[in-house]
Copies of this chain bind each other. A is one copy, B any other.
Amino acid sequence: MLDKLFKPKSIAVIGASNKPYKIGKTVVDNLTISYHGKIYPINLNEKEINGLKCYKSILSVPGKVDIVVIVVPSKNVPRAVEECGNKGVKYCIVITGGFKEVGVEGAKLERKIFETSKRYGMQLLGPNCFGLMNTSIGLNTTFSPIMPKEGNIAVFSQSGALCATLLDWAYREGVGFSKFISLGNKADLNENDFLETLEEDDETCVILGYLEGVVDGEKFIEITKRVTKKKPLVLIKAGKSSSGARAVSSHTGTLAGTEKAYKAAFIKNGAIRAESMEEWLDAARVFSTQPLPNGDKVAIITNAGGPGVIAADACDTYGVSLANFSHETIKKLRDNLPDTASIYNPVDVLGDADPGRYGIALETVLKDENVDGSIVILTPVATTRPFEMAREIARVAEKIKKPILASFMGGTLTDAGIKYLEEHGIPNYCDPGRAVACMKNLIKQHQNTERVEEKPTIFGDVDRKKVEEILYQADKPNVGFMDCIKILEAYKIPVVGYGFAKTAEECVKVADKIGYPVALKIVSPDILHKTDVGGIKLNIEGDESIIKAYDEMMVDINKREPDARILGVNIQEMVREENKEMIIGVNKDPQFGHLIMFGIGGIYVEILNDVSFRIAPMSKKDAYGMIREIKTYQLLTGVRGERPVDTDCIAEVLMRISQLVTDFKEIVELDINPLAGFEKGCKVIDIRMTRGN
């Protein structure tokens, strides 16, 4: 995919220049330096640039042109794109800015170049982007003064400035990249296209991405679910706060998806979300150098207690487990370390440890089956020899294929050791807590690779046709209550007994079928607030009572709303059995589609905001996961002598709701509130549903 874009045989630069500091000059310079294909500078007034023949127009270039980099002012871009189309070019990289990001006029211009490119079957990167790089063939279409070395990290970013920052950082740190893509305004090619390419790219072991929004959320999830099984995907999703979101919209005009939807998306796709630049870069380095652990058990080795404690605290914070050593390991440590050393985890080899002692401790713990990886801490105390320590660590790393992260602390004294470590592929973090955070990410990616992808559960017993009929008949966005009930029934979702009646006699008949106690609710298109006019009667027991209730209701309403059209009454079972009230909601997110919410009703949702989200379609694992994820989950398992609630039934309702909204994308909102959960079974008591267009 995008093969010609990353491995072009020929490139033209429209807007190439001989003038120093011009982007059109820098781009040609960058290409000239390391790219070995054909380069065609295009400029009306120049004869030659960097010794290359210059053409007046792309159309006058003799041979085929695979990709074109466009750096002319925005007003000239449409013509340039048009000419590229005529020439039969495959890809245009539009570096020029001044499009969607500057307002309505720019957006129009952007639309125009997109349409032109589609007309000619071209694909567009940008506009307002930084270009791209493929280090393995020396390709650099950007105006960056820095060309990174080859490496196994791929980057795509919606912020060109972050690209520049990353290149500068990598240059200093000696980090290399495989592919480097600035997405710009994403008029055409977007994150999904590049994710698919990078998924298959053998030169890429880890993918870093900076996103402010995604173009097609559903496709994004589908692709990234696949990608993360194969290689780590570390994403910054900026604009999660309301203040951040505001900054995004004033920046690229991207409509930022809601934070909740993104959170659910990252649960679904297994992407590692970096919360800061630092975590992003730390993750890049650790994934590009370290093997994945086989579990979450870590050994800490230190030459000083304090930093060992700090690391242990960080393990607690990040949910990384401290390994329990085997008897054999403990014996071996006891035999080889001084009496006053701590041989349990964290292992304290003491301040006077020589490199050999460090080496034997590290080797011993890493050979233990209970240990999945290690963090080695070194403080520059009197007798420490950081450089030789580093050599010992590298020696062990060579022998045992488990992740080793170093935390050589301090500054000048440890520099040589840190340099040696990094040259030997062992990342170092001046703060032990950062090393632990990296270990957490390694563990998370290990879990991704182990993940068995569960297909969404599909129930075969649903009556899709019936729902279709109801939804297409409805003339308003708000689906009526009885229609909602019928839809649920068609999808075999348990609801309380209900019925409709037009007379007192019919009420008796319906109520006898449902079983008392029941509630009576007026059905009238003209009555909004049923309670105010006496249109709701609860806890009705027995035939006589229901007749009385019906008559009273009709009298009251006739008095208060004489002109209201009365269609009849709804009769509804009142739940008597001990139950817990829950909420299931569905909301259609503009980027990720149907977002399903679960929570326990009442104050838990209202005050504690204790709800969980998943994106439809949901698997069994999703359904149970979202039930267990809420903080008040214990309330469902039966605490304080209460009976447990039938979570199997709730999970099934969640999956059936997921199937319903997946089958009927036009359902934009759905609220089951409450769903009554019993010790055995559960029933929908009330529901609202909104149909979109």
Chain A residues with a Cβ under 8 A of chain B: 21, 23, 26, 98, 101-103, 143, 145-146, 157-162, 164-165, 167-173, 210, 212, 236, 238-244, 246-248, 250-252, 275-278, 303-310, 312-317, 322, 339-340, 342, 344, 346, 348, 351, 379-383, 409-414, 430-434, 602-603, 606-608, 631-632, 634-635, 639-640
User: Please, which residue of chain B has its CB at the minimum distance from the CB of A210?
Assistant: B306
Q: Are B306 and A241 in contact (CB under 8 A)?
A: no
13 residue pairs bridging A and B, Cβ less than 8 Å apart:
A21-B383, A161-B351, A161-B379, A165-B379, A169-B430, A171-B412, A241-B313, A241-B317, A244-B313, A250-B305, A250-B348, A607-B631, A607-B635
Q: Are B413 and A145 in contact (CB under 8 A)?
A: yes
Q: Are B342 and A250 in contact (CB under 8 A)?
A: yes
Q: Are B434 and A238 in contact (CB under 8 A)?
A: no
Q: Are A252 and B305 in contact (CB under 8 A)?
A: yes
Q: Are A212 and B306 in contact (CB under 8 A)?
A: yes
Q: Are A309 and B251 in contact (CB under 8 A)?
A: yes
The one of B165, B241, B251, B430 that contacts A409, using a Cβ cutoff of 8 Å? B165
Chain B residue numbers with a CB within 8 Å of A173 are: 411
The one of B164, B238, B252, B379 that contacts A310, using a Cβ cutoff of 8 Å? B238
Q: Are B307 and A159 in contact (CB under 8 A)?
A: yes
Q: How far is the CB of A313 from chain B (nearest CB, A)?
A: 4
- With A243-B316, A381-B160 known as contacts, the answer to whether A248 contacts B305 (CB < 8 A) is yes
- With A316-B243, A410-B164 known as contacts, the answer to whether A431 contacts B158 (CB < 8 A) is no
Chain B residue numbers with a CB within 8 Å of A639 are: 603, 606-607
Q: Are B348 and A251 in contact (CB under 8 A)?
A: yes
Cα–Cα distance between A50 and B93 once the two chains are bound (Å): 70
Cα–Cα distance between A251 and B159 once the two chains are bound (Å): 47
Q: Are B158 and A379 in contact (CB under 8 A)?
A: no
The one of B312, B379, B381, B608 that contacts A608, using a Cβ cutoff of 8 Å? B608
Cα–Cα distance between A351 and B640 once the two chains are bound (Å): 61
Q: Are A433 and B278 in contact (CB under 8 A)?
A: yes
Cα–Cα distance between A639 and B604 once the two chains are bound (Å): 12
Q: Are B348 and A381 in contact (CB under 8 A)?
A: no
Cα–Cα distance between A632 and B165 once the two chains are bound (Å): 44
User: Please, which residue of chain B has its CB at the minimum distance from the CB of A382?
Assistant: B143
Chain B residue numbers with a CB within 8 Å of A303 are: 161
Chain B residue numbers with a CB within 8 Å of A103 are: 340
The one of B236, B243, B309, B342 that contacts A322, using a Cβ cutoff of 8 Å? B243
The one of B238, B346, B380 that contacts A313, using a Cβ cutoff of 8 Å? B238
Chain B residue numbers with a CB within 8 Å of A411 are: 168-173
Given contacts A241-B312, A241-B313, 5 further A-B contacts (CB under 8 A): A23-B382, A241-B317, A244-B313, A247-B305, A251-B306
User: Please, which residue of chain B has its CB at the minimum distance from the CB of A170?
Assistant: B411
Q: How far is the CB of A248 from chain B (nearest CB, A)?
A: 5
Q: How far is the CB of A491 from chain B (nearest CB, A)?
A: 31
Q: Are B165 and A380 in contact (CB under 8 A)?
A: yes
Chain B residue numbers with a CB within 8 Å of A603 are: 632, 634-635, 639-640
Top 3 A-B residue pairs of the complex, sorted by shortest distance between their CB atoms: A159-B306, A161-B304, A241-B316
Q: Are B241 and A277 in contact (CB under 8 A)?
A: no
- With A238-B313, A340-B102, A430-B278 known as contacts, the answer to whether A168 contacts B412 (CB < 8 A) is yes
Chain B residue numbers with a CB within 8 Å of A250 are: 305, 342, 344, 348
The one of B161, B322, B379 that contacts A162, using a Cβ cutoff of 8 Å? B379
Cα–Cα distance between A445 and B316 once the two chains are bound (Å): 28
Residue among A242, A246, A635 with max Cβ neighbours from chain B (10 Å): A246
Q: Are A159 and B410 in contact (CB under 8 A)?
A: no
Q: How far is the CB of A6 from chain B (nearest CB, A)?
A: 24
Q: How far is the CB of A121 from chain B (nearest CB, A)?
A: 32
Cα–Cα distance between A143 and B383 once the two chains are bound (Å): 11
User: Please, which residue of chain B has its CB at the minimum distance from the CB of A173?
Assistant: B411
User: Please, which residue of chain B has its CB at the minimum distance from the CB of A342?
Assistant: B250
Q: Are B276 and A640 in contact (CB under 8 A)?
A: no
Q: Are B413 and A312 in contact (CB under 8 A)?
A: no
Q: How far is the CB of A151 from chain B (nearest CB, A)?
A: 15
Cα–Cα distance between A168 and B304 once the two chains are bound (Å): 15
Q: Are B239 and A602 in contact (CB under 8 A)?
A: no
Q: How far is the CB of A55 from chain B (nearest CB, A)?
A: 25
User: Please, which residue of chain B has its CB at the minimum distance from the CB of A344?
Assistant: B250
Chain B residue numbers with a CB within 8 Å of A433 are: 275-278
- With A162-B379, A351-B161, A433-B276 known as contacts, the answer to whether A312 contacts B247 (CB < 8 A) is yes
Chain B residue numbers with a CB within 8 Å of A277 are: 307, 310, 409, 430-433
Cα–Cα distance between A167 and B164 once the two chains are bound (Å): 33
The one of B26, B168, B308, B340 that contacts A101, using a Cβ cutoff of 8 Å? B340
Chain B residue numbers with a CB within 8 Å of A247 are: 305, 308-309, 312, 342, 346
Cα–Cα distance between A275 and B317 once the two chains are bound (Å): 10
The one of B252, B381, B631 that contacts A161, using a Cβ cutoff of 8 Å? B381
- With A247-B305, A305-B248, A307-B161 known as contacts, the answer to whether A242 contacts B171 (CB < 8 A) is no
User: Please, which residue of chain B has its CB at the minimum distance from the CB of A409?
Assistant: B165
Q: How far is the CB of A365 from chain B (nearest CB, A)?
A: 15
Cα–Cα distance between A250 and B640 once the two chains are bound (Å): 39
Chain B residue numbers with a CB within 8 Å of A606 are: 639-640
Cα–Cα distance between A235 and B143 once the two chains are bound (Å): 45
Q: Are B306 and A172 in contact (CB under 8 A)?
A: no
Cα–Cα distance between A349 and B210 once the two chains are bound (Å): 21
Q: How far is the CB of A20 from chain B (nearest CB, A)?
A: 12
Residue among A159, A160, A247, A248 with max Cβ neighbours from chain B (10 Å): A247
Cα–Cα distance between A168 and B411 once the two chains are bound (Å): 5
Chain B residue numbers with a CB within 8 Å of A239 are: 309, 312-313
Q: How far is the CB of A61 from chain B (nearest CB, A)?
A: 27
User: Please, which residue of chain B has its CB at the minimum distance from the CB of A144?
Assistant: B382
Chain B residue numbers with a CB within 8 Å of A306 are: 157-159, 161-162, 210, 212, 238, 251
Chain B residue numbers with a CB within 8 Å of A161 are: 303-307, 351, 379, 381
